[in-house]
């Protein structure tokens, strides 16, 4: 079974984090919410307190198949400032393992040089922070081992692309149909 980790810091965007967790768990993909704050309880950008599954220092990061970054302006700044996480992001990229980021969080990948020569997207206004990337105004972009998405409104498609990468497009479509993503199902 594929394993993924989504990282939470004070100020994370609620829907961007919880949609990914919900859809991956529905798909049978293991996903842990990992706090970088030193506390399991973490407050979102809209003052929603969640309880993470693990603290960063207790998470088995190396066995994960994908690392996922939710957005939120403050959350993104906090994730970028946490060197143990940024070191792992670079390590995963260098190993060709999957990285996914939504909203403002693709700017973290840009700041780390991970997007060099890659097609990527992000929340409007953050395009210049995608250092080295070829920006495209699309809901979700997968370029090799990197998945980026624009924001809260694109999170079902973002989660679907993560499911596709870790399982299959068929599984992603099954989950979208079960949540009645649109009326074509």
- Residues labelled as active-site residues: 103
DSSP H or E stretch at residue 164:
helix 155-166
Nearest to 120 by CA among 103, 104, 106, 108: 106
Rounded Cα–Cα distance for residues 118 and 135 (Å): 8
* DSSP secondary structure string for all residues of 37-104: SSSSEEE-TTS-EEE-SEEGGGS-GGG-SEEEE---HHHHHHHHT-HHHHHHHHHHHHTT-EEEEETT
Rg value, the chain, Cα: 15
């Amino acid at each position: 079974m594929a394993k993924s980790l989504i990282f939470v810091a004070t100020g994370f965007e609620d829907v961007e984090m919880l949609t990914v967790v919900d859809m991956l768990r529905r798909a049978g993909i293991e996903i842990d919410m990992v706090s970088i704050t030193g506390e399991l309880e973490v407050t979102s950008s809209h003052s929603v307190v969640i309880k993470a599954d693990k603290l960063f220092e207790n998470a088995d990061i190396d066995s994960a198949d994908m690392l996922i970054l939710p957005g939120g302006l403050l959350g993104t700044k906090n994730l970028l400032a946490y060197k143990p996480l940024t070191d792992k992001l670079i390590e995963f990229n260098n190993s060709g393992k999957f990285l996914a980021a939504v909203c403002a969080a693709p700017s973290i990948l840009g700041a780390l040089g991970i997007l060099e020569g890659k097609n990527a997207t992000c929340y409007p206004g953050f395009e210049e922070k995608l250092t080295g990337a070829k920006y495209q105004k699309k809901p979700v972009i997968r370029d090799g081992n990197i998945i980026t998405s624009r924001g809260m409104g694109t999170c079902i498609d973002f989660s679907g692309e993560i499911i596709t990468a870790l399982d299959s497009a068929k599984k992603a479509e099954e989950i979208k149909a079960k949540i009645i993503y649109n009326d074509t199902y």
